[in-house]
Structure formats: structure tokens, C-alpha cells
Amino acid sequence: MLSRVANTLYWMLRYVERADNMARLIDVNEQLLLDWERLDSERLRDFWMPIVWSAGDDSLYSELYGSGHSADVIRFLTDDRRNPNSIVSCLFQARENARTVRDQLSDELWEELNSLYLFLNSSEAERMLRDDPPKYYGLIRRSVFTFQGIASSTIDRGLGWDFMDLGRHLERADKTTRFLDISTFLPPSAPMAMHWNAIVKSCGAMGAYRALHAGMVEPRKVCELLIFSRTFPRSVRYCMSRVQQSLHAISGSLMGDYSDDAERITGRVMGQLNYGVVDEFLKEGLHEALDGLQTQFNTIGEEVFESYVLMPHVIATTHPSKQSTTTMRAWQYQQEQEQQ
């Protein structure tokens, strides 16, 4: 498979997953904060800004809005096209990636993503976001569910699928840690019980949590489920096990061994998750532990790019005068794709 095609499929799924996760988080938070409308705009903003901080987009937000208000934060996260990580920006970029590799996709998959793109670009979407936000975010989430189901049902299980599955689960693992990290940015006045309920609901994990635990939602138990569960499909451990499987399917190397740094670092992360326990994880400090995982996820993404897109072994065979230009162009392309 051409490295360009592999990279495009990988990022198409990362963008779709990123948009889905943001829609989940905003939708749940908006509904949970309905009982807090008596708060002034500045205090409501304090409940939304942690999402911006956890995503690492606070500098861009400050540049565009200054101090802003809660409505500005929601707009920034939803449909501000100046924010490359807003829901609308991510889905537009996913559609653009899909357009360039249409021959690798089923007609049904392209039609679903293109239909969502056309909706987001319509006056109907603007009206729905203004008048009925839950319906707007629900439509995006259902469309993403449909997209994923079509992909699972119609894409051949070859290298293209492996790169798609790799992108989806690496992005999902990263976003689960960022959901959890929001709690470390909340103001002291924040209703923490409500917030932890929001995290569980954003991950679609309430049913799984209730099956394991009775009573109120507790932070430690939430972390145990969303980080260390072997079977819940949005836990960090489950997602990283799928990342590991995809990487080995792509390279053909045996599990337990590694052929590049992406596989080596993924194996190291899996060791931490397979043999770690939640109390040891929290002892380090939740933010510090999550930040450590996110750093490793970013490194894995960089190493995937090095191994399968930049391909240093190919670049090394080019004429010396062309090597730096080739490398720079590849690097610039990667920067356009990466989360800010």
C-alpha cells in the first residue's frame, strides 16, 4: 500500500473519532449543566474551559476570543473552523481525506461521511445548533456510529483496515485520557459528583459501570474502568491492545517482539497497563499520570509516521540534494494532520 494512502486512511479515522468524542463530551455537559443555568456566564465558562485546556487548545482560544464566555467556548469547540480540532473542522478534514482515497472505500462509507459533511455545511445545521443542541450533537454521534458500522461491514480486512483501526483506537485512547484529565482543571466550586457522572456518560460507560459497581459513581472506580479494563471498548487498555494488534498486523512481526519504535513503545505502554493497578496510577497524581500516557501516545503517532510515511529507509536512497526537501514536505504534511 502507498504510504500516502495509508496515512490518509489513518487520519480519516482519527478525525472521525476526534469529532465523535468532542460531540459526546459537549452534549453530556450541556445537559448536565441545565440545572446550573442560575450561574452567571463567567462561572459557566469555568465549567467549559477545562475541556479547552485538556485538548491543549487554550492558546488558540485566547487568541480568538480573549476571556470569552461559555457560549464562546461551546462555539469554539463545535463549529469554529478556525479551530482545527472543532467538531466541524475534524469532520471536514475527515471528508477531505476520504475524498482523496475514494477508490479504497465502499460507496456506502463515502456516502455516509459526505452526507454528514453536507449537513454540517447547511443552514439546517446552523438552525439546529442554535435551537436544539442535543438534537444537533445526537445527529453527529448517530452518523459516526453508522459510519463505523458501515466501515466494519464493508471494508476488506487488509492493510487499509489495519491503518484505519490503528488510527481509531490510538485517537480513542488519547481522548479517554483527556476526558479524565478535565477533572484536574475544574474550579474548587465544581460539583465533582456531577462531573464524574458526565465523564462516564461521555464514554458511554454507565451501563458497564453499573454492571460492576453499585451506588454512586466514584472517581477511583471510574479510573479503574476507563484506564485498566481489559474488555470495555473505550478503556485505554483495550484501545492500546487494538493499537498493538494493528501495528503487528501491518509489520508482520510477532507479538512479544518489535520491528520499530512504534511497536516498542506500544509494548511498553501495554506492560504498564497489563501489570499496573489503579492505586499505583493515582499515587503519581491523576494529571501527571495521564499526561505521561498522552506523551507516549503522541510519540507512537510520530513513530508510525516515521516508519510508514516518512520512510527514512527510502529517503536515504534518494539523491542527497533532494533528501532535505523530501523530508520537509513529508513533515509539513504530518503537521497539517496532527492535533494542535
Indicate the DSSP class of residue 339.
-
Rounded distance between C-alpha atoms, residue 164 and residue 155, angstroms: 10
First to last CA, the chain: 28
Grid cell, residue 10, equals: 489513518
| Stated pTM of the model | 0.88
Long-range contact set of residues 85-89: C-beta below 8 Å, sequence gap at least 24: 85/18, 85/22, 85/55, 85/57, 85/339, 85/340, 86/22, 87/19, 87/22, 87/23, 87/26, 87/140, 88/120
Each residue's pLDDT expressed in tens, for the chain with a length of 340 residues: 578 899 999 999 999 999 999 999 888 877 766 655 555 555 666 677 888 888 888 899 999 988 777 788 889 999 999 999 999 999 999 999 999 999 999 999 999 999 999 999 999 999 999 999 999 999 999 999 999 999 999 999 999 999 999 999 999 999 999 999 988 887 776 677 878 888 899 899 999 999 999 888 999 999 999 999 999 999 999 999 999 999 999 999 999 899 999 999 999 999 999 999 999 999 989 999 999 999 999 999 999 998 888 764 444 444 444 444 444 445 445 545 554 4
Rounded distance between C-alpha atoms, residue 337 and residue 328, angstroms: 14
Cβ neighbours of residue 224 closer than 8 Å, sequence gap 6 or more = 278
Rounded distance between C-alpha atoms, residue 19 and residue 90, angstroms: 6
Rounded distance between C-alpha atoms, residue 50 and residue 183, angstroms: 8
